[in-house]
Chain A
């Protein structure tokens, strides 16, 4: 397919356009929303505030304002401890562009005690190859004068030294 340019004398010696660039840049001002705003303000006070679904009783951390299974607002706030269990993890061995951590390092899903949704975080202060499912961890926070409305306030999670959690306590979270 295509147009036979040789039939148009004026275009006989013209190189066809094979590609074009359309630069695109748009700025957005993200709205966290009511539930996330409350969560982030609490995080600035070094508190982990989850929200409970009034229908199924599940506690969401971080909360987004709605129970994704029941479609109703999660209005009850629940303060949660700073301890949890590793439900799943990944040892990062591959360097990539923009990387800030030294490899190997461990990214993990941490199910905070009392929550029904795991948080994403880093596991530090132990050898990467010792991280395992069921590992009990606690949050390591930034210094008080550095706290912001951001989950980055938790620098990483470190082992508590407790025995591993029973798999039945987190089997629904994998």
Chain B
């Protein structure tokens, strides 16, 4: 295996609705920040891979137009995943492992505001017996949360505690959309949005973008004083039909975590892509994280949830903490699909 590291990460300020800018205009300054910081350009970086979904824009092949934001001329080596940017990172990482290139740009954006997001997400459900009922994404998450509570693995107060910590942590995150001081009692006094989920158990609807540069070996050391080395990365998928899964557990996360080597050393921080509070509890359990692990110091997807970028942002947030010296070993996680259907786990380490 080649040593590959995250050397630079950037993200937009996340907002409920960015009305003045289209996706290109939203993405361009984020990628531009990385070019400036690394000295690389679309022509000198070895590979470019993006993650997004046409369903947010309501336009076929919408990702092609966003290439305008990076200036792909003369023609560049480029790819796209119809998935969260974390999976674009995986593709780029595989490309670097093949040994022909030493660096890659990954970018990802989610402008959720043009459509009705909870309904848009319905289209990713199993199309024969689930999607025709048009359950929205929040209601589907509510079913999972109800299953978790009924299993006795968590209480509503446990969910509220996740919300309190996330909103509190987000106060130190200048890019966050939602932050603030709350108490468990305050949250439990609020009405249900989708029983047993309350407003604070759910992510905000977000417009935002993120980009990352990864590099191998000496180039990584050249571009970054303390690169965040990707020691393990793995992704797994579960059945599409919700009824055949145990929604109170995440076996795909557990397996990906084992393959990525989460348990091979002490974890300082974890950035878990849990759009809903109860999902963080399921993920932390599946990854075997102890009480000493700081979970979602950025505030997580509850603080800002640009769909298709929120997973890549978890990896970027974890990498930035390693680069800044605040952590030596971190686990970052990304999810996609309803009720944590697909999961990617990435273990990052600093050197020395």
Contact = CB atoms under 8 A, between A and B. Distances in A.
B25 A65 contact: yes
Interface string A21-56: 111101111111111110000000000000000000
B28 interface: yes
Interface stretch (B109-117, B259-267, B268-276, B325-333): B109-117
A155 to B, nearest CB: 27
B68 interface: yes
Contacts of B123: 24, 26
B67 interface: yes
Given A71-B31, A71-B68, A73-B28, A65 B131 contact: no
A89 to B, nearest CB: 25
Contacts of B65: 64
A37 B25 CA distance: 12
A33 B20 contact: yes
B128 A64 contact: no
Interface residues of B, number: 34
B197 interface: no
Between B19, B42, B71, B123, the greatest number of chain A beta carbons within 10 A of the residue's beta carbon is seen for: B71
Nearest to B67: A68
A66 B28 contact: yes
B132 interface: yes
A68 B73 contact: yes
B115 A71 contact: no
A67 interface: yes
Given A22-B132, A65-B28, A71-B28, A34 B67 contact: no
Contacts of B58: 26, 28, 30
B25 A34 contact: yes
A20 interface: yes
A71 B20 contact: no
Nearest to B119: A26
A31 B22 contact: yes
Contacts of A5: none
Contacts of A27: 115-116
Interface residues of A, number: 27
A20 B129 CA distance: 9
A93 B139 CA distance: 51
A113 interface: no
Contacts of A70: 71, 73
B70 interface: yes
Contacts of A67: 68, 71
Contacts, number: 91
A11 interface: no
B120 A26 contact: yes
Nearest to B123: A24
A70 B187 CA distance: 49
B180 interface: no
Contacts of A90: none
A44 to B, nearest CB: 18
Contacts of A29: 113-115
B321 to A, nearest CB: 29
Contacts of A68: 67-68, 71-73
B127 A22 contact: yes
A27 B116 CA distance: 7
A66 B25 contact: yes
B147 interface: no
Nearest to B133: A22
B69 interface: yes
A69 interface: yes
Nearest to A28: B58
B62 to A, nearest CB: 11
Contacts of B127: 22
A72 interface: yes
- Best-surrounded residue of A24, A66, A67 (most CB of chain B within 10 A): A66
Nearest to B25: A65
Closest 3 pairs between A and B when the two form their complex, measured CB to CB? A71-B71, A33-B22, A28-B58
16 contacts: A22-B128, A26-B119, A27-B116, A28-B115, A29-B113, A30-B58, A31-B111, A33-B21, A37-B20, A65-B21, A65-B24, A65-B28, A66-B25, A66-B71, A67-B68, A71-B28
Interface of B: 18-22, 24-25, 28, 31-32, 42, 55, 57-58, 65, 67-73, 111, 113-116, 119-120, 123, 127-128, 131-132
